[in-house]
Amino acid sequence: MVISPGGWPKGEAGVLFVTESDTGRVLAMKDENNDGVADKIVVVASGLNFPHGIVFHDNALWIAETTRVTKIFDDNNDLIADRKTVVVDNLPNGGHHISRTIVFDEAGRFYVSVGSSCNVCIDDQRRAAILRFNADGSGEEIFAKGSRNAVGIVFNPNTGELWGTENGRDLLGDDVPADEINILKRGGDYGWPICYGDKIHDTDFDKNRYVVDPCLGTVSPQITMQAHVAPLGLRFVWNDSLPNALQGDLLFAQHGSWNRTVPVGYQVVRVINPAGNPGLSPFVNGWLEGTKAWGRPVDILDSQNGEIFITDDYAGAIYRIVFDK
């Protein structure tokens, strides 16, 4: 469940667009009486292949599906797609990680995160990667590689850098390797599959001999956290309608562990001074009670009305956070 603010009709407030991956749909949720609760749900598009990331750009809603990027148009302002264009139709398919996320830079190019097909293996070079395309789908390049599963990617509006969450490997123990947030640089190698953590060479998997440690040239993470918390969507706060104390902070969702002895994650985390010496603290929690989880946060969105929305794909809910004036 990834969310985007309303874009159809142009300028209309009170509409959230949400992907429903398992059903292959994009929904528009409209608050018609301004009470903070969706009164109307419209199926914008259906028959999609596990839609995940969505973004409005150039009067179209762009959808990142498992194997393709599609843009749809609403010609009569009824929130229902009237036209569809497939922009990219050959993204890698299958395997463990099938969600795709999409963002645009200021030059109009789009970036798609493609997770690995496995926990650890020699994979298609277009997997565990961030792919970049021109707006018409041409000019594909591997922008960054070795990021095992960057489910969340976002541009830092203050610096123009692309940031991404990374879900680290499984089956190395409860506390190894740390999950990460990376600054994704063009040409950057983030280590997977032969490296994990901060430049740690996995000699059990990679039996090759090297004169120089192959992990020394990989990019160190910007932020590390407990292993297996599964960081997903992230959002920088630069919004005058939100409290001053949050400005410049980074919020990200920890979806929660699935195979750790003691469950961890299941919260939204606030990062103060993310580009400097980051400090992490819980922002919203309570989804984990003992060893029982009743919710799993996925994505985060802030609005110009001073709200923060959080999606939860376990409870099938969208939470709205408001602040005292």
pLDDT grade for 304, boundaries at 50, 70 and 90: confident
Q: What is the mean pLDDT of residues 210-234?
A: 98
Question: Is residue 18 assigned to a domain?
Answer: no
User: Tokens standing for 138?
Assistant: 């041409």
Number of domains in the chain: 1
299 has pLDDT over 60: yes
What is the per-residue pLDDT across 71-129, written as a single tens digit (0 to 9) for each?
A: 999 999 899 999 999 999 999 999 999 999 999 999 999 999 999 999 999 999 999 99
Question: Is residue 163 assigned to a domain?
Answer: yes
Q: Which CATH number belongs to the domain containing residue 220 in this structure?
A: 2.120.10.30
5 has pLDDT over 90: no
pLDDT grade for 3, boundaries at 50, 70 and 90: low
Please identify which residue in the block is written with the tokens 């707006």: 135
Q: What is the mean pLDDT of residues 301-305?
A: 90
Query: pLDDT averaged over the chain?
Result: 95
Question: Is residue 250 assigned to a domain?
Answer: yes
9 has pLDDT over 60: no
Q: How far apart are CA 195 and CA 183, in angstroms?
A: 17
Question: Is residue 12 assigned to a domain?
Answer: no
Reduced to 3 states, what is the DSSP secondary structure of residue 248?
coil
Give me the half-sphere count of Cα atoms (radius 13 Å) on the Cβ side of residue 95. 24
For residue 149, the enclosing domain spans 55-322
Sign of CA dihedral 238, 182, 282, 170: positive
